């Protein structure tokens, strides 16, 4: 019965594992972010991840010709047939919900202009006609932008058009009147370039200033014909890949792996017909990499398993001992997984993968007991060299528990648990079970040529260390440890470079209202400095802004100006009718139609400056408008569940309500996430908004951010900008560091203490080696320094040192210390040669196969262990110990 106790233990451990796994007691994560410690920077990265455009696919075509545009439209039309495609976006525009809000609540949203008198009749006429001309110009810009989308519009299914028209017919009557008036204005003034001498001069001025590349449009709204308020929106534009060609953004309905995989297959199939089309999505890269990694891992695991089983049966040649050994290793790994999972809320898959590999080091303990006849006769024995090797290994891993890096701490705890269980089994249980005598390989002694002394190996080690430290370069960018998919990496680099004139910044505040205020303050500051950046969230009003607007609209001065407007309407009617009767307009338009148009326009003028109910802004409303806000619970430091809303990376506005939004329109740029309504009322929440800014404006934003950080910053800013909305003491801030910069900063804070702890661990193990080896210290330390120096030398010769190299170097040092102890304490004999040789062989094979991996993390790990094992093998064959040679002399 005791011969099969390990089999019984394995069955019990497997049952316990399955019970915990199916009850969600074991939480294994594949997220790279979970490798980082929980710090403030880590929380910012988590927030950035919430803003990622995970449902977007970037598409570009080479060239800016009409043929290129037509080809892109044709490709996009075919892409729309892929089931998981939600929309195709080729230009910026606002969401329909945002347009509704701006149309209905313009008087609350726009900012009052300075007003100190009642306007004259000439001033009223000039402002009204100038506003109409401005509206016409903006609509002409929209038509130009939409000119490249005509083919897609024609190819649309008629049912989609009917559906869109049905939705349009149900719009709010007030907004419909506004849009119909604007549409009529466009149709009647579109061809008239001489509305008045004033407008002609204004047109000439616009032509002359085209090179100034103004970034804003001023909205003309019929509820404010005198333009007593101002609302500026960014000019819309077509997406282009810088210096390459036209670009589009395709959005997916679902980002689950299976759906993304089907979408990728659809893109790949259609793209074969269009060699000039390029496309990329981070989801595409993740799904493709996952498939490649799984294929690679399956191959590596199959090969390693087959190699292990073959080696165990060939080396040990005792079936019962081999079976028990395999059961012990599996049981130790299961228990280690359960312990680590109970200690850490999430366990990284990399920690488990490498931990399983490290547990194979325990095979040393079994081999040294077996080849020294300690399992024969069922006697109680104690092997001191193996105990010293075990203690030294545990000391090294225990030191690594203090490294502020979850991966290494989890890996160290895993190794301590599994190695301890294996040592107890191999050192105390197996001798009691009893097995047959070991079967040795006598010819193994013939491969040893002890010609090279310890001094020579130490000298070579010193030279290798000098070379390594001279040429070794550090690179702890974790993103480079992923699967090396060159094709996808090239596409990612292309699209990154195509949009490298913008940067992301993170706005945050303690309430939704103060977040909007921060966006408005920053926008005002940028506008004061003639910056190009537009922050979409600044379109929304704060509570204080709406109160200020209501007070302004209800003031006596505005009432007097409205009265002056009403008195000027007869003259304005005559002026506009004269414009409509010009020969250049559509002659098919009857006089009745012209009068109906004027009556509708003037009816809205008469109802101008009449306030409705004050709008209530909530997270749900902002989400419907296309604004995404991330809400963080500052107590738990957890990001609350969110409602995703499709967004794009830039913003523009359109006034044509009849455009089919599925292919040409998109939501506002505001990459974020909307949350539950009650979160706006809790002081423990923090609200975040991601804005896209032009690189040329970063200096202005830095200045604003520095002022904001100062205790008296808001007062100093208000002194220079009287329109500031930001309330005091709202704990608002701007995070200007990029995601990659923050990740690099976290990595820097990790690897510095990691190097220190690893150095401490190395010193502790060398001290333990000195205590254990005593007179033969130089002979034993060679087994540590020579493999370490040679491995560093190899890395310096062809690549950079990454974090996975450091992990592997730790394992190498731990294993090398064991071999150093064995070589000294057990003596230079055939049994020691058996134990070390086969242990090196199994360890080298198990990790060496990783060298062929295209995943940089696995490749780096395998490279270090394989080179190290080759050095150990060289020492086993060539090393001539100093201590024994002196003894013989």
**Local confidence band at 500 (pLDDT 50, 70, 90 cut-offs):** low
The token duo for 638 is 């957890």
Instruction: Return the pLDDT at 587.
Output: 56
Q: What domains, with CATH codes, occur in the chain?
A: 1-30+317-439 (no CATH), 447-501+738-889 (1.20.1640.10)
3-state secondary structure 188-234: HHCCCCCCCHHHHHHHHHHHHCHHHCCCEEECCCCCCCCCCEECEEE
Q: Is the per-residue pLDDT at 193 higher than 90?
A: no
pLDDT category at 235 given cuts 50, 70, 90 is confident
Structure-token pair, residue 819 = 């071999």
Buried b (16+ CB within 10 A) or exposed e, 196-210: beebeebbeeeeeee
Structure tokens at 82: 């892929």
Q: How far is it, in rounded angstroms, from Cα 773 to Cα 385?
A: 10
Does the structure show a pLDDT above 70 at 34? no
- Candidates 188, 269, 319; CA nearest to 596 is 188
Max distance between CA atoms of the chain, in angstroms, equals: 125
pLDDT(543) > 80: yes
Query: In the structure encoding, which two tokens stand for residue 732, read together?
Result: 């608002």
Q: d(Cα 650, Cα 536) in Å, to the nearest integer?
A: 9
Total residue count of the chain as it appears in this document = 889
pTM for the model: 0.69
Residues 6 or more apart in contact with residue 498 via CB below 8 angstroms: 60, 241, 242, 244, 247
Percent of the chain whose predicted confidence (pLDDT) is above 70: 78
Whole-number pLDDT of residue 828:
66
pLDDT > 90 in the chain, percent: 15
Q: Output DSSP code: residue 119.
A: P
**Any bridge partners for residue 347, and if so which?**
28
Query: Using 50, 70 and 90 to split pLDDT, how confident is the model at 156?
Result: very low
Number of other CB atoms surrounding residue 475 within 10 Å: 13
pLDDT over 60 at 198, yes or no: no
How many Å apart are CA 756 and CA 879, to the nearest integer? 31
Q: Tell me which residue of 457, 558, 543, 429 sits closest to 877, measured CA to CA.
A: 457
pLDDT value of position 79: 92
Is pLDDT at 78 greater than 90 in this prediction? yes
- Cβ-based neighbour number of residue 437 at 10 Å: 11
Token pair, residue 674, equals 């909307």
Q: What is the pLDDT of residue 514?
A: 92
Kind plus residue range of the DSSP H or E element containing 590 = none
Specify the pLDDT at position 476: 74
pLDDT of residue 53: 52
Q: Which residue has the higher pLDDT, 28 or 344?
A: 344
pLDDT for the residue numbered 164: 40
On the CB side of 357, how many CA atoms lie within 13 Å of its CA? 26
3-state secondary structure of 719: helix
Q: How many CB atoms lie within 10 A of CB 120?
A: 11
> Rounded to an integer, what distance in angstroms lies between the CA atom of residue 685 and that of residue 687?
7
Task: Render pLDDT for 600-655 as a digit per residue (tens, 0 to 9).
Answer: 878 888 888 999 899 989 888 888 887 888 888 765 444 443 333 333 333 433 33
Find the Cα–Cα–Cα–Cα dihedral 263, 267, 268, 274, rounded to 10°.
Answer: 180
**DSSP bridge pairs for 589:** none
Q: What is the pLDDT of residue 202?
A: 34
Cα-based angle 541, 542, 547 (whole degrees, multiple of 5): 95
Q: Which tops the pLDDT comparison, 5 or 277?
A: 277
For residue 473, is it left (φ>0), alpha (ψ between -120 and 50) or beta?
Answer: beta
pLDDT per residue as tens digits for the range 390-408:
888 888 788 778 777 777 7
What pLDDT shows up at residue 36? 67
Token pair in block for residue 620: 């749900």
* Contact call for residues 233 and 653 (beta carbons, < 8 A): yes
pLDDT given for residue 166 in this prediction: 40
| pLDDT at residue 365 tops 80 | yes
- Give the tens place of pLDDT for each residue, 158-183: 334 343 444 344 444 444 444 444 44
Indicate the pLDDT class of residue 142, thresholds 50, 70 and 90.
Answer: low
pLDDT tens digits, 722-769: 455 544 445 788 888 877 778 777 777 777 777 787 788 788 778 878
| Sign of CA pseudo-dihedral 879, 882, 885, 887 | negative
Provide the pLDDT for residue 795: 93
Give the residue, 259 or 479, on which the prediction is more confident: 259
Answer whether 303's CB lies under 8 Å from 850's CB.
Answer: no
**pLDDT per position as a tens digit, 823-868:** 776 666 777 777 788 888 877 877 778 888 887 878 888 899 899 9
Task: For residue 267, name the pLDDT band (cuts at 50, 70, 90).
Answer: very high
The answer to whether 826 and 368 are in contact (CB under 8 A) is yes
The CA–CA distances, whole Å, from 40 to 49, 630, 701, 746 equal: 14, 16, 22, 10
Task: Say if residues 358 and 415 touch (Cβ distance below 8 Å).
Answer: yes
Question: Residue 886 pLDDT more than 60?
Answer: no
Between residues 258 and 585, the one the model is more confident about: 258
Tell how strand 111-112 and strand 245-252 pair up: unpaired
Question: How far, in Å, CA of 662 to CA of 644, rounded?
Answer: 18
- Of these ranges, 7-11, 211-215, 297-301, 787-791, the one predicted with the greatest mean pLDDT is 787-791
User: Which residues touch 412 (CB under 8 Å, ≥6 apart)?
Assistant: 397, 398, 400, 401, 403
Give mean pLDDT, residues 71-89: 90
CB atoms within 10 A of CB 338: 18
pLDDT of residue 314: 78
Quick one: pLDDT band at residue 662, thresholds 50, 70, 90?
Answer: very low
Alpha-carbon distance values, 312 to 316, 320, 363 (Å): 6, 11, 10
pLDDT at residue 673 in the model: 40
Residue 586 has pLDDT above 80, yes or no: no
769-828 tens-digit pLDDT: 888 777 888 888 898 999 999 999 999 998 888 888 887 888 888 888 888 887 776 666
pLDDT on residue 221: 84
Please state, rounded to an integer, the average pLDDT across all residues of the chain: 76
**Model confidence pLDDT, tens digit, residues 236-257:** 778 888 888 999 989 888 888 8
pLDDT at 445: 66
pLDDT (average), residues 42-65:
80
pLDDT tens readout for residues 370-397: 888 888 876 777 888 888 888 888 887 8
pLDDT tens by residue, 680-728: 444 578 899 988 888 889 999 999 988 888 744 444 555 555 455 544 4
**pLDDT over 80 (residue 27):** no
The closest alpha carbon to 840, from 363, 450, 387, 326, belongs to: 363
What is the Cβ-side half-sphere exposure of residue 418, based on CA atoms within 13 angstroms? 31
**274/205: higher pLDDT:** 274
Within a 13 Å sphere around the CA of 391, how many CA atoms are in the beta-carbon half? Answer: 14
- Which pLDDT value is given to residue 145? 58
């Amino acid at each position: 019965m005791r011969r099969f106790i390990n089999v019984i233990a394995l069955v019990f451990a497997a049952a316990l594992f399955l019970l915990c796994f199916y009850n969600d007691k074991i939480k294994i994560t594949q997220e790279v972010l979970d490798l980082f410690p929980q710090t403030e920077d880590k929380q910012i990265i988590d927030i950035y991840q919430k803003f990622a455009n995970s449902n977007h696919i970037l598409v570009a075509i080479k060239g800016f010709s009409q043929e290129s545009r037509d080809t892109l439209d044709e490709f996009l039309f075919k892409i729309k047939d892929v089931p998981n495609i939600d929309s195709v976006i080729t230009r910026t525009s606002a969401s329909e919900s945002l347009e509704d809000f701006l149309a209905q609540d313009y008087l609350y949203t726009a900012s009052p202009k300075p007003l100190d008198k009642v306007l004259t009749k000439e001033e009223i006429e000039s402002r009204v006609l100038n506003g109409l001309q401005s509206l016409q110009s903006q609509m002409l810009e929209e038509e130009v932008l939409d000119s490249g989308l005509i083919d897609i519009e024609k190819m649309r299914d008629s049912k989609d058009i009917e559906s869109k028209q049905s939705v349009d017919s149900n719009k709010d009557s007030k907004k419909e009147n506004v849009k119909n008036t604007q549409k009529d204005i466009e149709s009647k003034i579109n061809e008239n370039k001489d509305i008045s001498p004033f407008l002609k001069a204004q047109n000439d001025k616009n032509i002359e200033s085209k090179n100034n590349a103004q970034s804003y449009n001023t909205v003309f709204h019929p509820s404010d014909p005198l333009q007593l308020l101002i609302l500026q929106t960014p000019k819309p534009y077509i997406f282009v890949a810088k210096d390459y060609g036209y670009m589009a953004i395709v959005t997916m309905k679902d980002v689950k792996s299976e759906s993304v995989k089907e979408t990728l297959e659809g893109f790949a199939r259609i793209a074969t017909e269009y060699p000039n089309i390029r496309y990329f999505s981070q989801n595409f890269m993740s799904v493709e990499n996952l498939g490649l990694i799984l294929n690679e891992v399956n191959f590596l695991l199959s090969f390693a398993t087959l190699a292990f089983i073959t080696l165990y049966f060939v080396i040990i040649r005792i079936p019962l001992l081999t079976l028990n050994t395999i059961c012990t290793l599996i049981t130790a790994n299961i228990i280690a997984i359960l312990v680590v999972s109970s200690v850490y809320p999430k366990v990284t898959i990399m920690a488990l993968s490498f931990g399983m590999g490290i547990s194979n080091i325990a095979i040393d303990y079994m081999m040294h007991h077996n080849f020294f006849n300690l399992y024969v006769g069922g006697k109680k024995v104690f092997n001191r060299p193996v105990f010293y090797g075990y203690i030294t290994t545990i000391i090294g891993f225990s030191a690594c528990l203090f490294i502020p890096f979850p991966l290494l701490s989890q890996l160290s705890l895993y190794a301590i648990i599994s190695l301890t269980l294996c040592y107890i089994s191999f050192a105390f249980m197996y001798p009691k079970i009893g097995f047959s005598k070991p079967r040795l390989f006598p010819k193994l002694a013939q491969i040893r040529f002890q010609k090279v002394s310890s001094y020579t190996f130490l000298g070579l080690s010193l030279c290798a260390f000098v070379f390594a430290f001279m040429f070794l370069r550090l690179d702890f960018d974790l993103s480079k440890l992923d699967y090396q998919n060159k094709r996808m990496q090239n596409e990612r680099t292309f699209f990154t470079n195509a949009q490298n004139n913008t940067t992301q910044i993170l706005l945050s505040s303690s309430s939704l209202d103060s977040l909007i205020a921060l966006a408005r303050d920053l926008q005002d500051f940028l506008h004061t400095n003639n910056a190009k950046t537009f922050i979409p969230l600044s379109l929304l009003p704060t509570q204080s802004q709406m109160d200020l607007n209501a007070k302004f609209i209800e003031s006596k001065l505005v009432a007097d100006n409205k009265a002056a407007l009403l008195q000027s309407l007869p003259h304005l009617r005559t002026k506009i009718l004269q414009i409509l009767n010009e020969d250049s307009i559509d002659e098919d338009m009857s006089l009745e139609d012209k009068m109906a148009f004027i009556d509708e326009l003037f009816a809205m003028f008469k109802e101008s400056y009449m306030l409705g109910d004050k709008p209530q802004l909530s997270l749900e409303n902002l989400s419907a408008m296309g604004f995404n806000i991330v809400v963080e619970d500052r107590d738990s430091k957890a990001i609350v569940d969110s409602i995703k809303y499709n967004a794009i990376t830039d913003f523009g506005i359109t006034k044509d309500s009849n455009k089919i939004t599925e292919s040409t329109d998109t939501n506002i740029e505001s990459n974020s996430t909307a949350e539950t309504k009650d979160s706006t009322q809790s002081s423990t929440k923090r609200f975040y908004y991601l804005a896209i800014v032009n690189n040329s404006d970063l200096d202005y934003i830095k200045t604003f951010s520095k002022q904001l950080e100062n205790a008296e910053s808001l007062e100093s800013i208000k002194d220079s900008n009287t329109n500031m909305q930001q309330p005091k003491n709202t704990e608002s801030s701007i995070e200007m560091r990029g995601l990659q910069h923050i990740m690099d900063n976290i990595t820097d804070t990790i690897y510095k203490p990691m190097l220190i702890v690893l150095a401490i661990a190395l010193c502790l193990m060398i001290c333990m080696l000195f205590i254990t080896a005593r007179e033969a210290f130089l002979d034993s330390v060679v087994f540590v320094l020579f493999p370490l120096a040679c491995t560093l030398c190899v890395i310096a010769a062809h690549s950079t040192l990454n974090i996975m190299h450091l992990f592997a170097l730790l394992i190498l040092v731990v294993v090398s210390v064991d071999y150093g102890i064995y070589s000294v304490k057990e003596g230079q004999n055939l049994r020691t040669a058996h134990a070390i040789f086969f242990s090196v062989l199994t360890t080298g094979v198990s990790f060496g196969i990783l060298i062929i991996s295209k995943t940089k993390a696995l490749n780096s790990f395998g490279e270090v262990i394989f080179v190290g094992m080759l050095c150990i093998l060289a020492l086993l064959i060539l090393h001539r110990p100093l201590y024994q040679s002196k003894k013989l002399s």
